[in-house]
Structure 1
Amino acid sequence: MRILLVSAGVPSPIGQIHLYNLLKVIGSNHDITLICFLDENSPFAAPPPEIVLTGGCTMVPFVRKNSLRKALRAITTWKPVALETYRSEDMARAITHTCSEHRFDVAIIEQLALGQYAPLVRHLPHVLFPVDAVSRLKAQRYQSTKNPLERLLRFLDYRATKAYERAVYRQFDGVMFVSRDDIRYTVDAGISDTATVYELPNGVDLTYFHPNAHNGQDERSIAFIGNMRNDINEHAVRWFYDHAWPTLHREVPDLRWYIVGNDPSARLRRYLERDPNIILTGYLEDFRPTIWNATLVISPLQMGAGIKNRVLQAMAMGKAIVASPLSVDGISAEHRKHLLVATNAGEFVRYTRLLIEDGRERLRLSREARRFVEDHHSLEGAASKLLHIVERVRRNVST
């Protein structure tokens, strides 16, 4: 199959992970052409060699724009701020040129904000992959904001995003989400109907993310994994630090907390630097040893949509996990069987202490977590599902 893929960033282990994983499986058997934005701050100046792109790759420089100007344009056009972020004449030209030079069976556009390029691929069966229900996340953000002016601006962005979703989804032959909960939200909110919405669960490379016999034996420690450039992850870290860490550290004084993820902000570094037991690792080329050495993994997300790749990766590595309900949103893992779900700070403290002290329970959960990912989130299964969705969309378009 000849596939045109348009992405908001270079698929890699730290960005566009869902595409990176899928391309590792389908790239060698299908003719894939990639057009993506390239952020000059990314550690990856090109797709990693394990991704096969027989159709080639065109990278468009990502140009950062003035935040105030983006916000003003969003308000005056009643469009989400992210649309202005990814509005690019260079990207439009790259898509138009590639479509004029090559024949494709289908086009897949990744991320909601890139849906603005739909008219350029309307001659093809075309699928939007927003990954998550973005307006659902925007609603959580404005509802959790206390500053009145900031809350109003976020509310307006939420309303604009929801309206844009409703309009842009109708321009595509199919829309894919990684979470069934996001599909339910999208349908119940009247944004789209069930006929063109598909579930594409995240897959995990079970060979790369594997358990290690040395699992958490060096010191008593917890680990959080996430791209720290994402404000959802920073919010989660600050929440845990404010509400759970003081009690946990008082009860387990030698406990260390590793925050594993690229680009932690200077603001977050200043916020945490007073505590020597907290380690911000920054970008790690291979974060697995840090996770293997941790006693357990925490995921205290208080906002979010879609399936969290990092939770699945930790489960695949055989880690016992304490997670908030939103961290396992869209994951069918069961509380107390595959992991522990903490609904408040007190439960985070209690469950974390339990797993620090009870090695037998920690081992049981680690085995169940690995088994769950093997059964429900293999990379091969996700790739097969993607191809099935694409074929179904093509059939629907041709009839």
Structure 2
Amino acid sequence: MSGFIKKNSPFDRTLYKKNHSNINIGNFREYSGNYISQALKNIFTRIDFPAADIVHFEGFAVISCGSKCRYPKILSLIDPWAIRQTRKSEIESNATKKAIFRIGAIVSNILERVYLKKYNHVHVVSPTDAIALKESHNLSNVVHIPVSFDQRNMSPKKTDYSINNKLKIVFWGDLHIDYLLESLRWYLLNVHRVITLQIDVDLYILGRTSKTYITEKIPTLIESSNTHIIEWTQDLNSFLSSMDIAVLPDLSGTGLKNRTLHAMALGIPTLGSKFAFEGISIESAASKAICSTSQDYIKTLTELSTSSQQRSDLACTLKSVISDSYDTTVITTEWEHLYQATNKVTLRSRG
């Protein structure tokens, strides 16, 4: 098996070769960035592939490269770029950026329509995105395999759901991403400002950037006794597990959200938008986790602030979803089946 993957790819070739002794991991090329401009450039770039049973491509930037490969091939698209660019345009207030995103959506749609059909299989992480791709481009080669979470190696998990003097809420996300920055702005104005008048709350903002950057982007955000900007934490899991609630009010986005799955796996009661939970099948018992309006957040946060049992029930239901659908063993087996379907040979794990 050879491939063309992103430089920071989560695909661990050394570990995969260790677990699958009959697979010869061949030449894997790496590239940096994943942009529409690169996808267009690669249309005119000569790429030679050594003989392989399977060639695994990863990312939108190499979408056109499969047409030059005569071997069985898989494209791990992760999430559809045309949908991503369309959603960005829908929430963008700047006219110039909105136009750029719309053009990006059109170009991405053309590239997807022309090149996706040339692969044996096209992989995305969300079942919602898989359905959208199949319908929009009339494809039959789209499969969805989610990311995996090895809960055994995730610690410390949250186990204490007792009521404290203050409800500790964490907003978590990379605030260099425009729609997450807008999501925080929306939450502060429509939820946090109201909820602080009703219950005792501490909001912790973990934005993967500096206080200066955040306050420049959101001038009305001022650190106070109930609003805290966290620039960096040495132990993410410990920090998150010390929180009572995680809120992910994403206003846009595509694909599965690792932040949502991560919080669920740690046993943190998690509330979020339809975008934060997109592609994640949660039971009706945890339906309150999805909040459509500011009133949904306010109502559920108020309920959870006084009930340790409701917190525990919500957390346990969400955590069970990870165990059932995102366990590493389950996901590894799904990939094995996909590789087998692609090159018609059985991939045997080491017993």
TM-score (norm 1): 0.75
Describe the SS at the equivalent of 2:149: coil
Paired with 1:263 and 1:32, the residues of 2 have a C-alpha distance of 44
Q: Output aligned runs, 1:354-369, within 5 Å.
A: 354-369=303-318
Q: Output aligned runs, 1:204-353, within 5 Å.
A: 204-210=149-155, 211-214=157-160, 219-253=166-200, 255-263=201-209, 267-270=213-216, 271=218, 273-276=221-224, 277-337=226-286, 340-353=289-302
On the 8 A contact 1:83/1:116 being kept in 2, the answer is no
**Could you say which residue in structure 1 is the equivalent of 2:36?**
83
Deviates more, 1:196-205 or 1:206-215: 206-215
On the 8 A contact 2:5/2:28 being kept in 1, the answer is no
**Could you say which residue in structure 2 is the equivalent of 1:115?**
63
Aligned equivalent of 1:146, options 93, 100, 108: 93
Describe the SS at the equivalent of 2:247: strand
On the 8 A contact 1:132/1:305 being kept in 2, the answer is yes
**Could you say which residue in structure 1 is the equivalent of 2:4?**
6
Report the CA distance between 1:368 and its aligned residue: 1.5
On the 8 A contact 1:26/1:383 being kept in 2, the answer is no
On the 8 A contact 2:215/2:222 being kept in 1, the answer is no
The structure, 1 or 2, with the larger RCO (C-alpha pairs under 8 Å, 6+ apart) is 2
On the 8 A contact 2:3/2:27 being kept in 1, the answer is no
What count of residue pairs does the alignment treat as equivalent?
338
Given residue 19 of structure 2, which amino acid in structure 1 is its aligned partner? N
Describe the SS at the equivalent of 1:170: helix
RMSD: 3.2
**Could you say which residue in structure 2 is the equivalent of 1:371?**
320
Q: Deviations over 1:222-270 (max 9, x none)?
A: 11333333333223222212221111222234x2222335346954342
On the 8 A contact 1:342/1:348 being kept in 2, the answer is yes
Paired with 2:263 and 2:81, the residues of 1 have a C-alpha distance of 24
Report the CA distance between 1:328 and its aligned residue: 1.0
**Could you say which residue in structure 1 is the equivalent of 2:336?**
387
1:363–1:339 CA distance, 2 compared to 1 (3 A):
same
Percent identity between matched residues is 16
On the 8 A contact 1:220/1:256 being kept in 2, the answer is yes
Q: Output aligned runs, 1:75-224, within 5 Å.
A: 82-85=35-38, 96=48, 99-100=49-50, 103-119=51-67, 122-189=69-136, 191-194=137-140, 196-210=141-155, 211-214=157-160, 219-224=166-171
Report the CA distance between 1:56 and its aligned residue: 8.1
On the 8 A contact 1:227/1:262 being kept in 2, the answer is yes
1:188–1:360 CA distance, 2 compared to 1 (3 A):
same
Report the CA distance between 1:294 and its aligned residue: 0.4
